[in-house]
Amino acid sequence: MRVFLSDRDVALALCLDADWQPDRVTGFSPDANGALVAVAGGQCEGVSIPCDDPVDEPFSSYFNGLSGEVKSFPGAFGPVFAPVSDSSEPAEFTVHARAVEACVARDTARILSRPTAFNTPVNRAGLLMRARSFVRAEKSDERVPVSVRRGFRRGAVQQESRALPYARYFDVEDVHLRHPRFDGGMSPVIERTVLRAADAVTVLPYDPIRDQVVVVEQFRPAAYVRGDCHPWVLEPVAGRCDGDEPVEEVARREMIEEAGLTLLGLEKIANYYPSPGCLTEYLFTFLGLVDLSDAQSGVHGVASEDEDIQTHILSFDEAMALVASGEADNGPLLLSLYWLGANRERLRREASAA
């Protein structure tokens, strides 16, 4: 028996040292994630290697996450095991999707090389979110300039080892590496632990006609674990980029879910790392233009996600008083309110002229 994958990079991510050979499965086409869909006259090109029966790790966990079933089909070199799609329709397995799946496959192999009670069974949903963030970060040359920085690039870092001892909704990565120093040499091998979280969006709702903002209040476990006496935190609306939709669509979705508001427009504030010394999270922060004429403070959130979110409608002056008093102690909220203070007159002028 052999194991078949419809993308070589995904295959190499799962098993780098294997001798993957070109192969094909007739009568099938890939779906959007590379699993097989039965199609009359279809032909799925891919690669295969010999495998055990039943399929062993890391293929078993990767296939189980990718599809609901693994079956045997005729391949060019004999029978192959391959994942069968949950969908009945084929789809384009895009370059972007292949890159995301390669990241998921690489993390799956890394987890199963050192399984623990805290990283297995493999949580595909969590790995997918972080894979999409990784692929988004690979395109940072397109949007992040390098003018003051020395210009060191990711490829100059020498990676010694990486491990994922904890992998659930978030995960923890231990990495040993060397990096270029500003004196021209290389650092010694250093060990760092990083909390991996997917990219996220924050939106501060603002009605420029009424000069009112909306802040949300919710329990935050990190504040609780730190020991904060008041672990219910004031924030902008926020949500994870857990799919492939544009960040603007994430903003629209979260505004409805967390505040019951419809966006009329978006103003970009900034894109940034809140704490790059230990956290991969990257934030896309916006101000959202809304109509608060009929809005009321209330409780919102998605019940299936255990969200319990209280909205507060405040005048601009009331919101800035929170900054002065220190009650506003959330980074994205502070940044958004300071930005609003600098752009408020323009926004109100534009709204009055509309």
Residue numbers annotated as active site:
305
Pick from 73, 75, 92: nearest CA to 83: 73
Pick from 62, 66, 30: nearest CA to 46: 30
Pick from 172, 296, 300, 294: nearest CA to 235: 300
Query: What is each CA distance from 27 to 31, 81, 160, 195, 221, in whole angstroms?
Result: 13, 15, 43, 43, 50
Pick from 89, 88, 129, 123: nearest CA to 108: 123
Contact predicate 348/332, CB 8 Å: no
Rounded Cα–Cα distance for residues 183 and 164 (Å): 32
Alpha-carbon torsion (9, 13, 14, 20), positive or negative: positive
- 3-state SS, residue 185: coil
Q: What residue type is 23 in one-letter code?
A: D
What distance lies between CA 29 and its chain's CA centroid?
Answer: 28
Rounded Cα–Cα distance for residues 82 and 64 (Å): 11
DSSP code of 182? T
Pick from 104, 153, 89, 88: nearest CA to 5: 104
